[in-house]
Chain A
Amino acid sequence: MNNIHSFTKVILSAIGIFFAIRIISQMLMPLGLARMNPSLESVAIAIAATLFFGLCLAVICYAFVYKREQLAKRIIGTIELPEPDSQILWLPAAFRLICVTAGLYCLYAVLWNVVYNLMQYFSFKADAAQSGYKVMYTPKILNIEQILSWLIMLAIGIYLVCGAPHFVRWQVRKTLEQCKAFEKIRQ
């Protein structure tokens, strides 16, 4: 365990706490929306969404706070590393860390959007008497464009949370190339 490991552990804990707080702040939102327009569907969706938020919270707390040491070792790659004199060592770790953070942010955005839009959809659906209102708003809430953008975000999020190996490799290669180009210019 060296400085890079300790630094990664601290960053992972910070990421976990940040997303845990964000999820906690949004956890009761579905219940609030269901209260505005109570119906069997919206209440069921609200309870399911709250439970799902709770599950996500538990997974984040487990992976980023409780099991952060294992995660840090996975991100760094090897258990024993020399002190970070050589900057090449910390560069892939830094890129992997930002990818995991961005991936979590992506997944959080998808989760929030899906829950919010589903809640809105079921709230409007409950207004059976106001069919014109429903016809006008329902296509704006759930349409192919939006679902496609969620799928793209979900795919990007999963790829980034997995460490985005191709992206990290490409970024490290390009960064080192740029450093070498500057060295050549100076010489």
Chain B
Amino acid sequence: MTKIQIIAKTMLTISGIYALVLLYAAHPGRYVYQPDKTPILQESALLCTFTILVGFVAYFMVFHNNRLSSSLAGPGLLLDSRTQADWLVKSLRVGLAFTGLMLLPGSAPTLVKIAKTFFLIRPALNEIIISKSTPNMLRLSYAQWYTSIYHLLKAVLAIYLICGAPHFIRWQIKHTLGQQANKTEIQNPSIKN
């Protein structure tokens, strides 16, 4: 991989994560405010189709973006595996931390709501156990559940990215370097011997 390819890979990863966040924000299901009038099967089918679409974006832009990044960046001076790993770790960490920081302002209200839930959880449990009724905080429509879960996952993602997404980077480097090694092996089978 070249330096430009690594930068392209980082850019693709950032764009992919942003695309995922925006796609789920634009999901049509979140505007359904009358779940009784909308068949649950129809809603589930819509969500599944949407998830498949999002899965394609995640697969080609976030997880397996080596081919796309090399076609975007074009040829150049190849780096040795040590420099390549260094550049990958550093550029991915900078890029992912940036994405996390940009997602943070939108997640601030969610973090406040999470903190508020800790104070409301005991009365809600009391209501469930003693009066055997659903508390108000759990009486939400489909759209409200969808929005709450979406914001919660977005906040978790933002925090994970700010922490540097170590697992994702480890996986990306192993995957990329492994792919490079396989490619070299196929091109020069004598190297193995």
Chain A residues in the interface with B (C-beta under 8 A): 87, 91, 94-95, 98-99, 101-102, 105-106, 109-110, 145-146, 148-150, 152-153, 156-157, 160, 171, 174-175, 178-179, 182-183, 186
Contact A152 to B89, CB < 8 A, known contacts A98-B94, A102-B102: no
Indicate if the CB atoms of A98 and B101 lie closer than 8 Å: yes
In-complex Cβ contact of B101 among A99, A183, A186 (8 A): A99
Chain B: residues with Cβ within 8 Å of the partner, total of: 27
A contacts with B: majority SS: helix
Give the secondary structure class of B's interface. Answer: helix
The total number of A-B Cβ pairs within 8 Å is 78
CB<8 Å pairs between A and B, sample of 23 = A87-B90, A91-B94, A94-B94, A95-B94, A98-B94, A101-B101, A106-B104, A109-B105, A110-B105, A145-B112, A149-B111, A149-B112, A152-B108, A152-B112, A153-B108, A156-B104, A156-B108, A160-B101, A174-B93, A178-B166, A179-B89, A182-B86, A186-B82
The 4 closest A-B pairs by CB, nearest first: A102-B101, A98-B98, A109-B105, A149-B109
State whether A178 touches B93 (Cβ < 8 A).
Answer: yes
Interface assignment of B17: CB less than 8 Å from any CB of chain A: no
In the complex, the answer to whether B102 meets A182 with C-beta atoms within 8 Å is no
Residues of B within 8 A of A87 (CB): 86-87, 90
Q: Which of B102, B105, B170 is packed against the most chain A CB atoms within 10 Å? A: B105
- The distance in angstroms between the C-alpha atoms of A91 and B86, with both chains bound, is 11
Q: How far is the CB of A121 from chain B (nearest CB, A)?
A: 17
Closest to A148 in B: B112
Interface flags, B94-134, vs A, CB<8A=1, else 0: 10011001101110110111001000000000000000000
Asked whether B105 lies within 8 Å of A153 as measured between CB atoms, the reply is yes
Known: A98-B98, A99-B101, A174-B164. A182 touches B111 (CB 8 A): no
